[in-house]
Chain A
Amino acid sequence: MLTLALNSAFASAPSIPFSKYELPNGLDVTLSPDHSVPFVCVNVWYDVGSKDEVAGRSGFAHLFEHLMFNGSKHADVDFFTPLQPLGARLNGSTNLDRTNYYECLPAEQLPLALFLEADRMGWLTEALTPEKLSNQKEVVRNERRQNYDNPPYGHAWLELLANTFPVGHPYHIATIGKHEEIDAASLEDVKAFFHKWYLPNNASLVLSGDFDEAEAKALVERYFGPVARGPQPEHVRPAPVVFTEEKRARFTDKVPFEKVWMVWPTPALFEPGDADLDLLASALAAGKESRLYTALVHDLQLAQDVTAYQGSQAWQSTFVISATASEGHTGDELVAAIDKVLAEAKLAGVTDAEVEVGRTAYEVQFFGNLSSIQGKADLLNSYNTRTGDPGYLSKDLGRYKSATAATVNAAFAEWLPPDKRLVVTFGPEAK
C-alpha cells in the first residue's frame, strides 16, 4: 500500500515549464513564468570557472566575479546600491566549472535587473579602476582566510583537489586560489578574461517568476541585444585522471580530532555511473541505518560522523568518504573500519531496497528545488549550461529511476577500487 502511495506521488513528477530561444549574439534565453509571488528572478550563468584560469592566476575567476559587483560603464555604482532598496535578493558564485549571478526582485523592476546584468556583460571594464581591483583582492583574500585558513580542517578541500588532480590539471587548485596569485592579478588580466569569457555566446540567461513573456522578450532584446558576440572561447578539457595506486597524505592543523577523507576520481556529471554513485553514497552513509554510520558511529563508536558523496563536476567527479574520529581514536582506525564495511558491502551487494530509498530522497530533493523561483531558475540554467537543454530535468530524474541494485553495484566495483585511491588525514599538531 505504501509503495502505491509513493508511486502516485511521483506520478506527478517534478517539472518546470519553460520556453527557450537564442538572441542573434548567441545568448541563450530561457523564460519560465511562475505567478505564485509578484517577484522575478534574473539568473545568468557564464560557462567559465576556475578550471579555465591560466597558470599563475589561481583564484582569478572568483576575483573577477567580485569585480562584477563594482559597477559597469552605464551604471558605475556598486551593484547592490540600486537593487537593495527595492528589496532585491542578489548574489553570485564561482566554482571549478562555472560562474553564476542572480537577482530576485519585485516583478515591476525587471527592466532594471536586465539593464544592470546586460551592462556588466557588455561594458564592465570601462568602469574598472586600480582601486576597485586592489580592494577586491583584499576582500577575496579575507574570504579565503575566513572560509579556508582560519577554520579547523579548512584546508582539507584544497588538499583533496591538489592530491587528486596533478599539477597543471584545471582542478588542481581550488576556486578560492592562492594568496600570492590572487595578489598578482592585474588590470590587464581582468580585461583579457572579460573579453575571452564574458560573452553573450558563452552565457545563459533565465527568467523565472511573475512576468509576461512578450514583455520580457522585448526587454531582453532591448538590453542584451546590443551586447557584442565574441569569438567562441574554447575550454581545454584534459584526459580523465586515473589512479594507479593508493596514495596517502597526512597533514597537521589546529584541529581537535583526526579526520580522514578517501577520494576516488569518478565519472563527470551526467556521465554513466554518476547517478549510480549518488545512490551508492546514500546506501553507504545517509541515515542512521546506513552501513557506514551503523559500523563506525553506532556499533564501533570510532567516529563522530561519517559522510559519503559523489561530488559531480563537469569534467570529472570525485567520490568522497570522510569521517571524524571520536575522542581517543585515530584516522587509521577509521580507514580500517571503512575498508571493512566497503569490502562487505561489495561482497554482499547494495540491495534494491537501499537503492529505492536513495531514489526517493533524490526525488524529494528535486521537489524542494522547485519550491522557489530562484531554485527553478538556477536549475534550468545548470541544465542549459551543461547539456544545452533547460528541460533536462526529466532526463536527470530518469537516471535515478532507471538505476537498479545491479547498476549501482557495477559502478561500485568499477569506480571504487580499494587499492587505487587517495587517503588524506588531518590530525592535531604535536603538543
Chain B
Amino acid sequence: MRPIFLLLLAACAPKPAPVAPPPPPEPEYVPATPTPLQTRLFVPPTVSWGQIGSDTRVAVVENHEVPLVSLSIEFPVRATASPKDKAGLAEATMDMLNEGAGSRDSAQISAELRRLGASLGSSAGFDGASVSISCLRDTLEPTLDLLTDVLTKPTFPTKEWDLRRSLWLDDIKDSRNTPNRIAERVMTHLLWGPSYRGMEATEASLAKITIKDMKAWHKANLSLTGALVLVGGDITLAEVAPFLESRLGKWTVKAAKAEPRPTAPVAPAKTTVYLVDKPGSPQSVVRASAYMGLPTDPDYAAFTIGNMAMGGQFASRINMNLRESKGYTYGARTSVSYDLAGASWGFSSGIHSEKTALALTELFKELREVEADRPLTDKEVADARGALLGGWPLRFESPDYLLGQVDVMRTYGLPDDWVSGYMTRFGAVTAADAQKAWSARIDPDRLTFVVVGDAAVIRPEIEKLGLVVVAVDVDGNAIGGK
C-alpha cells in the first residue's frame, strides 16, 4: 500500500522536490536459527490393575486434571455370535440395553443420565461388545447404579424394538445412498462375503429378530466372566473397585464357547476396480484394501513406518503427489490397522471426477517406483520414526489411549510389551527394514479397489490404465456384463 500512496503524491505534486540522497539499504532481517531447548523427560502413566468378582480384571489409569471419569466394560463376545439368518442380533441386543431397564423406560434412563451430567453407550462390534459411561467424579455412584440396571435388568420393550428396527432400516437405506458409506459396504462385501465383517444386518434378518432372541442373547453372552473393565480419569483403583464389586461382583455366567478367529481374505489374482455408478458425481470416492500378515509379525513395526512414509501422514509420497503437486484431491491417505483376521492396509481419497484415472496413475506410479528406482530413503524413514516416537507422549494426555491399548492387547492377543516396548520397536526400524516390509506386503498388482463415482466420466479412462473394471451395485454384486 505504502509505495502506491507515495507514487500518487508524487504524481499530484506541482513540481518535483529536490532529490535527496537515497537512504542506506536496511540490513536484511535474518531470524535467529531456532535451536531446541532442554529435552524433557517423559514418564508414561501406569496402569493400576485390580480384580472384581472371581476373575474380572480392572485397569485404572488416573488423571486428576478435570473431575471427569470414564468407565467401560469390554465383553469378549462378537457380533458374529448370532444365528446366520439373524444378522444384527448382537448389535440389536446391545443397542436395546438402555431402552428400558429396572423400573425405568427409555426416556427416563436418558433423563436420569442427563441429570447426572453423564452419558452411557452400548454396542456390539465384530471384535467385541462394550458398554461405557462417562460422568462427573461426584456422580459416578448413581451413574454406576444406572449402568448396573442397564446391564443386569434390561426389559427389551417391544415398542422400543419396533422403533429401533425402523430407524435401523432408514439407516441401511442411507448407507446405500451416501457415497462414502457405499464404498465401505461394497468393500466389506467384496472382502468378506457373508462372513465376519460381512455379517451385516439386512431388511430380512432384522425382520426375524424377536424380543425372545434378544433376552436369550443377553443371558448367554453378557456377564463379567471374561470381561475387562477399563477406568480412566479422576479416580483411583481403591475408590472404584468397591463400587464395582458391590454392584456387579456376582454378575457371572458360564463362559460362552469362544468362536474361532476369522481367516483373512486372499488377495485377488489381479488388481480389480469395482465400480459403483453414481451419475453426476463431482468426485469419485476411491478406496483400496488388502489384508496381509499379523500385527505380531516381526516386520509389522517396519511396515507401519514404511506406510507412514508412503501415505500415512500429510508429508508422505502419495499425499504430496496427489494433493500438493497435482491438486487432484483434498487429501489421499494410506493406513495400517488390524482386526481379528490380521493386519490390513488401505488407501482412501476423494478425487475430482475428471482426474480419477490420472490420480490412479500417480498412485500406481508411487507404488511401483518404491519397488524399483526410488526405494525409501534414510531421511524419509527417520522422519517417519520421529513422527511416531516424538508424538507418542501426547497420546497419553487422555487416559483413553493407554486404556485402549490395554483393550486391544487382550482382544488381539498382543504381547505384554506392546506398549512398554513401543519406543524400542519403532526406534529400531531402518530404511532397509521399512523397504523390505513394505515390498513384502504391498503388491500393486493384487489390490482390491472400490470406486464410487460417475462411470460415464471415469470408466473409459480407468480401463485405459489396463485395470480390470467390474461394475457392481451398492451391495457389491456384479451387474451387467463386464
Interface residues of A, Cβ cutoff 8 Å to B: 2, 5-6, 8-9, 12, 14, 36-39, 74, 78, 80-81, 84-89, 104-112, 114-115, 118-119, 134-143, 145-147, 149-152, 195, 210, 215, 222-223, 226, 231, 254-257, 286-289, 294, 297-298, 301, 304, 324, 326-327, 356-357, 360-361, 363-364, 367-368, 370-373
Q: Does B330 interact with chain A (Cβ within 8 Å)?
A: yes
Q: Which of A39, A78, A147 contacts B315 (CB 8 A)?
A: A78
Once the chains bind, are B390 and A294 in contact (CB under 8 Å)? no
Once the chains bind, are A9 and B31 in contact (CB under 8 Å)? no
Q: List 19 A-B contacts (CB under 8 A).
A: A2-B115, A2-B142, A5-B138, A39-B393, A78-B315, A89-B391, A104-B394, A111-B35, A115-B32, A139-B324, A139-B327, A140-B330, A146-B329, A149-B283, A256-B174, A289-B114, A327-B170, A357-B115, A372-B397
Once the chains bind, are A370 and B117 in contact (CB under 8 Å)? no
Q: Please, what's the 1-or-0 string for B23-63, where 1 marks a CB less than 8 Å from any CB in chain A?
A: 00000011110111111111000000000000000000001
Interface residues on chain B, size class: 35 or more
Once the chains bind, are A368 and B68 in contact (CB under 8 Å)? yes
Once the chains bind, are B314 and A84 in contact (CB under 8 Å)? yes
- Contact partners of A108 in chain B: CB under 8 A: 36-40
Q: How far is the CA of A37 from the CA of B392 in the complex (A)?
A: 11
Chain A residue at smallest Cβ distance from B386: A85
Known: A226-B31, A373-B397. A6 touches B139 (CB 8 A): yes
- Contact partners of A119 in chain B: CB under 8 A: 31
Residue of B34, B281, B386 with most chain A CB atoms under a 10 A cut-off: B34
Known: A138-B328, A372-B398. A88 touches B177 (CB 8 A): no
Known: A9-B138, A9-B139, A87-B392. A289 touches B110 (CB 8 A): yes
Once the chains bind, are A110 and B37 in contact (CB under 8 Å)? yes
Additional pairs, 17, CB under 8 Å, beyond known A106-B390, A108-B40, A367-B66: A2-B142, A9-B136, A36-B397, A87-B386, A87-B387, A111-B34, A111-B36, A114-B34, A137-B327, A139-B324, A142-B327, A145-B350, A152-B178, A324-B170, A327-B166, A327-B170, A367-B67
The 10 A-B pairs with the shortest beta carbon distances in the complex, nearest first, are: A87-B390, A138-B327, A87-B391, A38-B40, A111-B34, A85-B383, A85-B386, A288-B110, A289-B111, A289-B107
Q: How far is the CA of A301 from the CA of B162 in the complex (A)?
A: 10
Q: Does B411 interact with chain A (Cβ within 8 Å)?
A: no
Known: A80-B314, A151-B178, A304-B170. A88 touches B67 (CB 8 A): no
Q: Does B137 interact with chain A (Cβ within 8 Å)?
A: yes
Q: Does B247 interact with chain A (Cβ within 8 Å)?
A: no
Q: Which of B106, B179, B330, B397 contacts A142 (CB 8 A)?
A: B330
Once the chains bind, are B390 and A85 in contact (CB under 8 Å)? yes
Q: How far is the CA of A48 from the CA of B74 in the complex (A)?
A: 46
Residues B111-147 near A (CB distance < 8 A):
111, 113-117, 136-139, 142
Q: Please, what's the 1-or-0 string for B334-351, where 1 marks a CB less than 8 Å from any CB in chain A?
A: 000000000000000011
Once the chains bind, are B282 and A145 in contact (CB under 8 Å)? yes
Once the chains bind, are A87 and B66 in contact (CB under 8 Å)? no
Once the chains bind, are B42 and A38 in contact (CB under 8 Å)? yes
Q: Please, what's the 1-or-0 string for B148-168, where 1 marks a CB less than 8 Å from any CB in chain A?
A: 000000000000000100110
Once the chains bind, are A371 and B65 in contact (CB under 8 Å)? yes
Chain B residue at smallest Cβ distance from A81: B315
Residues B302-357 near A (CB distance < 8 A):
313-315, 320, 323-330, 350-352
Once the chains bind, are A363 and B315 in contact (CB under 8 Å)? no
Q: Does B180 interact with chain A (Cβ within 8 Å)?
A: yes
Q: How far is the CA of A4 from the CA of B326 in the complex (A)?
A: 61
Residue of B37, B39, B65, B398 with most chain A CB atoms under a 10 A cut-off: B37
Residues B362-399 near A (CB distance < 8 A):
382-384, 386-394, 396-398
Q: How far is the CA of A104 from the CA of B394 in the complex (A)?
A: 9
Q: Does B195 interact with chain A (Cβ within 8 Å)?
A: no
Once the chains bind, are B117 and A6 in contact (CB under 8 Å)? yes
Q: Does B169 interact with chain A (Cβ within 8 Å)?
A: yes
Chain B residue at smallest Cβ distance from A286: B114
Once the chains bind, are A142 and B350 in contact (CB under 8 Å)? yes
Q: Which of B37, B170, B325, B387 contacts A84 (CB 8 A)?
A: B387
Q: How far is the CA of A367 from the CA of B70 in the complex (A)?
A: 13
Once the chains bind, are A6 and B136 in contact (CB under 8 Å)? yes
Q: Does B280 interact with chain A (Cβ within 8 Å)?
A: yes
Known: A89-B394, A256-B177. A142 touches B315 (CB 8 A): no
Q: How far is the CA of A115 from the CA of B34 in the complex (A)?
A: 7
Once the chains bind, are A371 and B163 in contact (CB under 8 Å)? no
Q: Does B173 interact with chain A (Cβ within 8 Å)?
A: yes
Once the chains bind, are B117 and A361 in contact (CB under 8 Å)? yes
Q: How far is the CA of A112 from the CA of B36 in the complex (A)?
A: 7
Known: A37-B393, A86-B386, A106-B390. A364 touches B68 (CB 8 A): yes
- Contact partners of A254 in chain B: CB under 8 A: 177, 278, 280
- Contact partners of B388 in chain A: CB under 8 A: 87
Once the chains bind, are A80 and B315 in contact (CB under 8 Å)? yes
B252: shortest Cβ distance to chain A, in Å? Answer: 30
Q: Which of A107, A149, A222, A289 contacts B282 (CB 8 A)?
A: A149
Q: Does B285 interact with chain A (Cβ within 8 Å)?
A: yes
- Contact partners of B106 in chain A: CB under 8 A: 288, 298
Q: Which of B107, B282, B393 contacts A288 (CB 8 A)?
A: B107
Chain A residue at smallest Cβ distance from B308: A84
Q: How far is the CA of A301 from the CA of B165 in the complex (A)?
A: 12
Once the chains bind, are A326 and B166 in contact (CB under 8 Å)? yes
Q: How far is the CA of A403 from the CA of B32 in the complex (A)?
A: 51
- Contact partners of B283 in chain A: CB under 8 A: 142, 145-146, 149-150
